Structure formats: C-alpha cells, structure tokens
Amino acid sequence: MSEMTLQQAWPDVLTPAEAQLLSDLQGPPETFRPRQQIVRCAQPVESALYLSSGFAGRYRPDRLGRRQLLAVQVPGDYVDLPGFVLGHLDHDLDALGQVVVRGTPYERLQALERQAPGVVHKLWRISLIDAAVHRYWIFRIGRLPGRARIANFFCEMLLRLYARGLCGFDAFQLPLSQVDLAEACGMTPVHANRMLAELRDEGVCTFAEGAVHIAKVPALFQIGQYTWDYLYLGADLDREIRQRLAGRGDSATRVAAAG
C-alpha cells in the first residue's frame, strides 16, 4: 500500500469542469485532529464541507452512551450535504484520523444553484449514493453474522477507496480502532477482535495500525457475501473490479481504463 493522492473523487458523477467549479467555491482548508468533532449534532450548519483528506465518522449514541457508527466518510466525500440542506445534523460527525476539510459557504452554493442547477442535481445524486450506502449498512448489520459483517465492511472500504485511486487492490488505510470497527459493525469490541483473529488465522486479511492488508481478496468478498451494485461506480470501474476479482487484473489495467 502506498500513499496516494486524490485526483477526481466523483468521476462518474461530476465532470472535471463541474468539479473545478465546486472546488473554486471552497474556502481555505481546515484541519482536525483525530477524535475531534467536526459537526455537532443539532448545531446549525452554515457551510457545506468537502473532505479533502482523512476519514470521518458519523455517530449516534444510545442512552447508555455507547455509540453506533452510522457512516464512514472517505477523502472526496461531501460530508455535510444533509446538514447544508436540512439546516442541522441529527448525529455527530467526528474526525477519525487526521482530517482536512474545505467548506463552501451557504450563500455561494445558493448562488451556484441559480446559475448552474445542473451541479446541484449532481450533488443530489451524490447524496442519494450516500443513502444507498446507508441502506447497505442496514443489510449488513441486519442479516450477516459477525465475521461476514467485518469482511463485508472491509470490502466496501476497499472499493470506495479504490474507486478514488486512493489504494491498490491489496491494502488500504482505515484509521479506526477495533472499538470503532465494532461500533461500525454493530457488535462488541471483544467479538470484533475475535472475528479479526479468525480472518487473520485463515490468512484472509489483517487489520493493524490503521490499515487493512488483504491477502485473499476473492475470499474476503466471498466471506462477506459482498456485492457493490449499491455504490453506483459506473460500468468501467465495475468491469475492472470484476476482472481483478477473477484474478485477471494487473496494474496496467487500471491505467488503461483511466486513460
């Protein structure tokens, strides 16, 4: 795994021109430390945030203070379109590792909405993909047993990062603790630990030091019963992923597809 930089976050949704247009509206980068709160539940939101680097998590605590992780946001995500449109969030948004966000003031996006409604439609599209991811999390937590939940979650993270050119097909950064992972998958930290041990002992994958290393990608997909139709990645990426899973993909494939 190597550190890679984010080129185009939404290749199948935004044209380069649109991405540039949105980028130009953004304010200066703001950094957040690990565990720092980015947006607080119920607080008024006055700008739309773009996650230019790092990972963020959406949390809802239960009555006893134990948290459920509702979503993991990766670099290139627009992390508070819900807050922007609805006025406030119904949950907390925290930095997972080190995070850099850039905000677009409310008024600028409203102005853009008048002069280029097409871009707003694209943002709508982006938030609907987020919703599709939410629905898939419901499926994952509701139907899959523990080990499959973890495997399935890793598969999603792999593809979402891979789709942005942020990792290869064998490893990726994931700045979560085992407690975070457990909160994401709806289980206890102890059990998450045991399921990770199983995957490790089977030689499927490891999770340590904020990164996942996958030795057997097809096995991970199989264990997690993973499908990625809900990510709406587009036909090119879809084919590419299927080729890699079939073992016929090499690094040249990616470059060829991108060119």
Partner DNA sequence: CGCGGAGTTGAACGCATTCAAGTCTTGTGG
Partner DNA sequence: CCACAAGACTTGAATGCGTTCAACTCCGCG
- What are the structure tokens assigned to 82, written together? 């819900």
144 touches its own copies by CB under 8 A: yes
Find the part of the chain contacting its own copies (CB under 8 A) among 23-31, 54-62, 167-175, 248-256: 54-62
177 touches DNA by CB under 7 A: yes
- Of DNA, its own copies, none, which one sits near residue 146, judging by CB under 5 to 8 A according to partner kind? DNA
Element (H, E) at 94: strand 92-95
Element (H, E) at 141: helix 117-143
Binding mask 5-34 for its own copies (x = CB under 8 A): ------------------------------
91 touches its own copies by CB under 8 A: yes
- Of its own copies, DNA, none, which one sits near residue 147, judging by CB under 5 to 8 A according to partner kind? DNA
Confirm if 29 and 101 have CB atoms less than 8 A apart.
yes
Q: How far is the CB of 143 from its own copies (least distance, A)?
A: 5
Confirm if 148 and 225 have CB atoms less than 8 A apart.
yes
Which of 69, 187 has the CB closer to DNA?
187
Task: Kindly tell me which residue out of 85, 132, 208, 258 binds DNA, with binding defined by CB under 7 A.
Answer: 208
In angstroms, the CA 60 to CA 57 distance is 10
Find the part of the chain contacting its own copies (CB under 8 A) among 18-26, 110-118, 195-203, 210-218: 110-118
177 touches its own copies by CB under 8 A: no
121 touches its own copies by CB under 8 A: yes
Find the part of the chain contacting DNA (CB under 7 A) among 67-75, 187-195, 213-221, 241-249: 187-195
- Of DNA, its own copies, none, which one sits near residue 193, judging by CB under 5 to 8 A according to partner kind? DNA
In angstroms, the CA 181 to CA 186 distance is 9
Q: In terms of Cα–Cα distance, which of 251, 157, 147 is closest to 211?
A: 157
Task: Kindly tell me which residue out of 8, 98, 178, 225 binds DNA, with binding defined by CB under 7 A.
Answer: 178
Binding mask 87-126 for DNA (x = CB under 7 A): ----------------------------------------
In angstroms, the CA 72 to CA 176 distance is 10
Axis-axis angle for helices 146-162, 178-185 (nearest 10) = 100
In angstroms, the CA 196 to CA 4 distance is 26
- Hey, is 37 helix, strand or coil? strand
Axis-axis angle for helices 117-143, 16-25 (nearest 10) = 90
Question: b vs e for 40-64, b when ≥16 Cβ sit within 10 Å of the residue's Cβ?
Answer: ebeeebebbbbbbbbbbbbbeeeee
In angstroms, the CA 71 to CA 69 distance is 6
What are the residues binding its own copies (CB under 8 A)?
Answer: 41-42, 58, 60, 62-63, 66, 68, 70-71, 81-82, 85-86, 90-91, 113-114, 117, 120-121, 123-125, 127-132, 134-139, 141-144, 183, 185-186, 225, 229-230, 232
What are the residues binding DNA (CB under 7 A)?
Answer: 145-147, 177-179, 186-191, 193-197, 208
